[in-house]
Every structure is written in structure tokens, then in C-alpha cells.
A and B are shown apart, each in its own frame.
Chain A
Amino acid sequence: MTDRFVTRGFVGRRRDGDDGSTASRIPPGQYITRDFPVLSAGPTPRTPLDQWSFTIQGLLKQPVSWSWEEFQALPARDWTVDISCVTKWTKLDMRWRGVSVDTLLEGVELDERAAFVIAYSDGGYTTNLPLADVLNGQAFVAYEYDGAPLAPEHGGPARLVVPARYFWKSAKWVRGLRLQERDEPGFWESLGYHNRGDQWREERYSGD
């Protein structure tokens, strides 16, 4: 890159733990954090578990819904994934437990027009994803983090996790997925953030 601007006097500290083993796991413009930062646009919703449900609706033969107890009885697995937030932090090897979206869609008869997913949450938050981006082990609904129930400020009782996208796509307090034929921007996607949000292409903002 010949036209690269160099900031006068900036050397930088280089990346924490940048011994070559983790550098390749850090997307462009990101830095490693060991904390688990909290970001949200409003107060943390608190839905009692006996009033909680998870629903898949929209373009399928029959909507399907699980109570908290039923959801806990679904086949779950552990996931260890790297997470990148659009606010620049990346956290490696985050340990979750939850249910794959593949598992949730087993036995669901999808309408062939279903091409996009809107994840929706308590508090009104939404985010959009192509259906193909949440299949084949690419997304799960997590209810444990690091061996403990997922804390409310981190999206508990359950949040969607889509590790291959910036973290705003991993909807906190998720209550369901709506299958649609057409794409529809979610909360941040309507406020100038990128529609897809692939951190490896640095798709932070609309137009990136």
C-alpha cells in the first residue's frame, strides 16, 4: 500500500500475546481484550424464566415454540469461539453452552421462500441475517457462559451467538427467529451499521 498514511510518532505496542499463534485470529482493526465488555442501547430486560419462551415463526408450515424447560431439554453442546465486537475488541476462546440453530430447525418444515432470519429480543432489539449464515453450525442460542448461567447484562437468560459476524448480530435476550423471504434491516443495521457485519472484511458501517 503506497498511499498509506503514517501517523507521526506512532509506534504502537503491538498486539497482546502476538506471538504468531493468536495474531491470525484477530480481525483487522481489532484488539484483544481479556474482559467481557458490556454494550447495550437501553436497560437490561428481565423476563422471569416461567414467562420465557423461544419461538420460530414466519415462513414455515407450523410455528414452533419452547418453554424454558423444554428449551433446556433440547440437545445442547459446548462451543469455544472467538468473538469480535464492532467497538474494536476481540475476545478469544469464549466458552458457551447452548443449542445449535440447526437443532432448532430440525423437524421444522421450512417454506422454500425462507431466505432471511430476523432475530428478535425482549426490549425490542432485532438483527437480520441470511438464513444460510445461521445454518451448518454457524449459530447457536447460548444460555451458559464459562460454565455458569448467562448473566442478564450479557444477554441472559439466552442470547443468539453468531461468531462469524460482529457481536451485535448475536442478539442478547433473544426470544425467537422470524423467517422471511425478504431481508429487513434490524436495530443497528437501520442506524448506519453494516447489513452483513463480517469482521474479516471489516464490514463495520453501512457502505464498508
Chain B
Amino acid sequence: MARPLDWQLATVAGVRDETDTVRSFSLTLPAWAGHRPGQHVDLRLTAEDGYSVERSYSIASEPERAPEVDITVERIADGEVSPFLHDVVVPGDRLEVRGPIGGYFVWEASQPGPLLLVGGGSGVVPLMAMLRHRARNGAMNPTRLLLSSRGPGEIIYRDELDRLAATNDGFEVVHTLTREQPPGWTGYARRIDEAMLAEVLEPLDREARVYVCGPTALVETTANALVRIGLAPSQIRTERFGPTGT
């Protein structure tokens, strides 16, 4: 029997707004064995009367930050957990956490070769853990992030992505804004499709490892299109969350 993933009491070390509806929480864990970029944690909330709920959240931070991990949470208006995290939780609070969980949707700097990351909305979160880890380790492998957001104000980690792209270490970010574009926008302004993926993939080679995370429709479209373009299914790893990820 493997070592159990015990619940532990994390302390909220910091809270940071990413967009109007997305907030990051830094959690300090007392017994953290470390994680691999792309993995997630489970969070358990318990009320006075014993009623409790659990949710999974991707880890946004790089493993090198251990024993601190960041989660980034989108506030779902009619959700049960995300409004609590946004409206109630402040630094110093304690939260029950266990993990890390998942071992397939994982990329580490020791894996060479070109990398294509495709994210939709808060699907960028586990991809960000990979990018932060990549930067921290000085990796120079050609890497592109195609990030689909609704509008300019809804791009999660926008400034940090720009900073990472400015270091000329082989990383580039490509945005598409599906609903609202700022004046003078010259980037993509539509949902991800096969033509867009072919263009974004072009500077990388066909052997790129691909990680796709976002709503089901985006993941399905992207993975199917990449297979049609000629990538092997085994190159493509997917992670999805839909409207139930409250």
C-alpha cells in the first residue's frame, strides 16, 4: 500500500488578484513532498456542522517554490467553493489541502525538445507552472503558449507572460481574444481552430510535446486539429475543466 496522501493544514500566505474574477492564493504547507508542474491539489472545506466539500485545483507555481504552492481560482458566480475563496479567505487563514495529484499532464525541464502549450481561460494555470519551472531552470527549448481569453482584461498572468517572453530564452506567447479586442489589436480574434494551430505550431517542429488545458470544446477542437495536422496522439496530453469546476 502506497503512502497515503494525507490532508494537511495549509496557511494562506498571500492573496493576489490576477483579473477581476481570478485570484491566486499562496499556500504554505507543513509537509510538502514537492510536485511536478501540471499536477493539482485537492482542497477540503468543512462547516461548523460537519458539512464538507472538496474540489481540485491545478498548482500554478513551480516546484522550486516548495513548501509553498500557489493555486489560481476563477470566481464562478453560482459556485459553492470559488466565491468562498474569493470573498472570505484572507492571509493567515488555514485550509485543508492534500496532494500532489496526477502524473500524466506533467512537463519537467529535464524533458528536451519543443513544447506547445494551449490554454483556454483558467486552463492556463497548470501551463503556467510549467513555464515558471522552465524559466527557473534556465531551459532554452523552443516553447510557445497559445492562450485563448475572452477579452484583454481577462488574460490571466498577462504581465508575467510578457516578462517571460521578453527574456529571449525561446519562449513566445500568442494570444487570441475571442469576444472583445482592444483598439488596434492585431492578434488573433477568434476561437482556436486548425488554421491558427498550424500557424502557431509552424516555428516549432512536428515532434513538439503538446499540453492542452481548458474547457472541453477547446480541448476537443485543439487535440482533434493537431491530430489532423499530423501529430501523433501520443504527443498530445490534455486536461479539461468544464462549467462544473466550481
Q: A residues bordering B, Cβ < 8 Å?
A: 1, 4-14, 29, 31, 33, 35, 37-45, 87-89, 123-124, 153, 187, 191-192, 204-208
Q: Is the CB of B84 within 8 A of A38?
A: no
Given contacts A43-B227, A153-B216, contact A37 B84 (CB under 8 A): no
- Cross-interface CB contact of B240 among A1, A33, A37, cutoff 8 Å: A37
Contact residues on B (Cβ < 8 Å of other chain), bracket: 35 or more
Q: Is the CB of A38 within 8 A of B242?
A: yes
Q: Is the CB of B46 within 8 A of A41?
A: no
Q: Is the CB of B88 within 8 A of A10?
A: yes
Q: Is the CB of A13 within 8 A of B80?
A: yes
Q: Is the CB of B96 within 8 A of A123?
A: no
Q: Nearest residue in A to B7 (C-beta to C-beta)?
A: A5
Q: Is the CB of B93 within 8 A of A8?
A: yes
Q: Is the CB of A42 within 8 A of B223?
A: yes
Which residues of B from 108 to 166 have beta carbons under 8 Å from A? none
Chain A residues near B236 (CB-CB < 8 A): 42-43
Does B2 touch A at the CB level, under 8 Å? yes
Q: B residues bordering A, Cβ < 8 Å?
A: 1-5, 7, 9, 42, 44-48, 50-56, 80, 84, 88-89, 93-96, 101-105, 216, 219-220, 223-224, 226-227, 233-234, 236-238, 240-244
Distance in angstroms from B221 CB to nearest chain A CB is 11
- Cross-interface CB contact of A42 among B80, B102, B233, B244, cutoff 8 Å: B233
Q: Is the CB of B220 within 8 A of A207?
A: no
Distance in angstroms from B58 CB to nearest chain A CB is 12
Chain B residues near A89 (CB-CB < 8 A): 244
- Cross-interface CB contact of B2 among A11, A124, A207, cutoff 8 Å: A207
- Cross-interface CB contact of B244 among A33, A192, A204, A208, cutoff 8 Å: A33
Complex Cα–Cα for A63 and B11 (A): 56
Complex Cα–Cα for A38 and B4 (A): 27
- Cross-interface CB contact of B47 among A10, A43, A87, A153, cutoff 8 Å: A10
Q: Is the CB of B47 within 8 A of A11?
A: yes
Q: Is the CB of A40 within 8 A of B238?
A: yes
Q: Is the CB of A37 within 8 A of B45?
A: no
